[in-house]
Amino acid sequence: MGKAVSFITRNFGKYDPASLAGYESIGGFTALRKALTMDGYDIARVLADNGVQGRGGAAYDMGKKWSQARDVKGEHKCVVCNADEGEPGTFKDRELLRNDPFQLLEGMIIAGWSVGADNGYLYMREEYSHLRPLLLSAIEQCEQAGYLGENILGSGLNYRIHLYSGAGAYVCGEGSALSESVEGKSGRPRMKPPFIKQCGVFHLPTCVNNVESLSLVAPLLLDDEGYYKSQGTEDCPGTKMISVCGNVKRPGVFEVPFGITIREIIYDLAGGLEDGHELRLVQLGGASGRICSPAQLDTPYTYKGMRQADLTAIGSGAVLVVDERTSVIGFLRMTQEFFSHESCGQCTPCREGNRHIALLLDKVAAGTHTQKDIDTLKKFADIMSSASLCGLGETAQSALLSCMKRFPEVFAVKEEVAVR
Partner 1 sequence: MKPFSQAADTLDQELAGKIDGILAAHGGDATQLVGILLDVEAAVERHYIPEAAAYYVAQKLGVKPTQVYDVISFYTALHDKPRAKFVLEVCNSAPCRVKDSDALLAALKRLLNLEVGEVTYDGRFSIEKVPCFGACDVSPAVRVNGVVYGHLDCEERILDMLQQLN
Is 169 a binding residue for partner 1 by CB under 8 A? The answer is: yes
Please give the residues from 15 up to 74 whose contact with partner 1 meets the rule CB under 8 A.
Answer: none
CB of 404 to partner 1, least distance (A): 18
Please state whether the peptide bond connecting residue 408 to the residue before it is cis, i.e. omega within 30 degrees of 0. Answer: no
b (16+ CB within 10 A) / e for 159-185: bbbebbbbeebbbbbbbbbbbbbbeee
Cβ nearer to partner 1, comparing 27 with 345: 345
For partner 1, which stretch binds (CB under 8 A), given 2-10, 101-109, 230-238, 243-251? 243-251
Residue closest to 288 by CA, chosen among 27, 58, 55, 31: 58
What number of chain residues touch partner 1 (CB under 8 A)?
A: 52
Binding partner 1 by CB under 8 A: which of 151, 186, 230, 386?
186
CA distance 204 to 201: 6
In angstroms, what is the minimal distance from the CB of 54 to partner 1?
Answer: 20
State the minimum distance, in angstroms, from the CB of residue 229 to partner 1: 30
Q: How far is the CB of 219 from partner 1 (least distance, A)?
A: 24
Quote the least distance from Cβ 186 to partner 1, whole Å: 3
Check residue 200 for interaction with partner 1 (CB under 8 A).
no
The least CB distance from residue 234 to partner 1, in Å, is: 32
Return the number of the residue (20 or 320) whose C-beta is nearest partner 1.
Answer: 320
Q: Is 269 helix (H, G, I), strand (E, B) or coil?
A: helix
Choosing from 125, 240, 369, 406, the residue that interacts with partner 1 (CB under 8 A) is: 125
DSSP 231-264: SB-SSSBSEEEEEEEESBSS-EEEEEETT-BHHH
| Backbone phi and psi for residue 261, each to the nearest 5 degrees, phi listed first | -90, 160
Cα–Cα distance, 395 to 307 (Å, whole number): 15
What is the residue-wise DSSP string for 70-134?
HHS--S--EEEEEE---STT--HHHHHHHH-HHHHHHHHHHHHHHHT-SEEEEEE-GGGGGGHHH
Interface residue with partner 1 among 5, 79, 105, 253 (CB under 8 A) is 253
Query: What Cα–Cα distance (Å) separates residue 361 from each residue in 164, 182, 396?
Result: 37, 36, 14
Task: Single out the segment in contact with partner 1 by CB under 8 A; choices: 6-14, 105-113, 186-194, 209-217.
Answer: 186-194
Q: How far is the CB of 321 from partner 1 (least distance, A)?
A: 8
Q: For the CB of residue 41, give the shortest distance to partner 1 in the complex, in Å.
A: 31
Distance from first CA to last CA of the chain, Å, rounded?
Answer: 55
Separation CA 257–CA 234 (nearest Å): 11
Minimal distance, residue 140 CB to partner 1, in Å: 12
Q: How far is the CB of 75 from partner 1 (least distance, A)?
A: 19
Separation between Cα atoms, residue 98 and residue 352, nearest integer Å:
38
Pick the closer one to partner 1 by CB: 62 or 320.
Answer: 320
Residue 39: closest CA among 132, 176, 157:
157
For residue 280, give the 3-state DSSP assignment. strand
With respect to partner 1, which residue has the nearer C-beta, 156 or 330? 330
- Closest approach, Cβ 386 to partner 1, in A, equals 25
> Is residue 247 a contact residue for partner 1 (CB under 8 A)?
yes
Asked if 126 is part of the footprint of partner 1 (rule: CB under 8 A), the reply reads yes
**Given the rule CB under 8 A, which of 24-32, 147-155, 247-255, 290-298 is the region that contacts partner 1?**
247-255
Which residue of 77, 94, 240, 369 would you call a contact of partner 1, by CB under 8 A? Answer: 94
* 337 lies in the site for partner 1, by CB under 8 A: yes
Q: What is the DSSP letter of 364?
A: H
Cα dist. 358→340, 372, 408 in Å? Answer: 8, 16, 18
The SS3 assignment for 46 reads helix
Question: Under the criterion CB under 8 A, does residue 239 sit at the interface with partner 1?
Answer: no
369 interacts with partner 1 by CB under 8 A:
no
Give the closest residue to 223 by CA, choosing from 2, 1, 5: 5
Check the CA dihedral 393-397-398-401 and report its sign: negative
Residue in 1, 2, 75, 184 binding partner 1, rule: CB under 8 A:
184
Point out which span in 85-93, 295-303, 360-368, 407-415 binds partner 1 (CB under 8 A).
85-93
**Which residues lie near partner 1 (CB under 8 A)?**
85-91, 94, 125-130, 164-170, 181-188, 202, 243, 245-247, 251-253, 283, 287, 320, 322-323, 325-326, 331, 334-335, 337-338, 341-342, 344
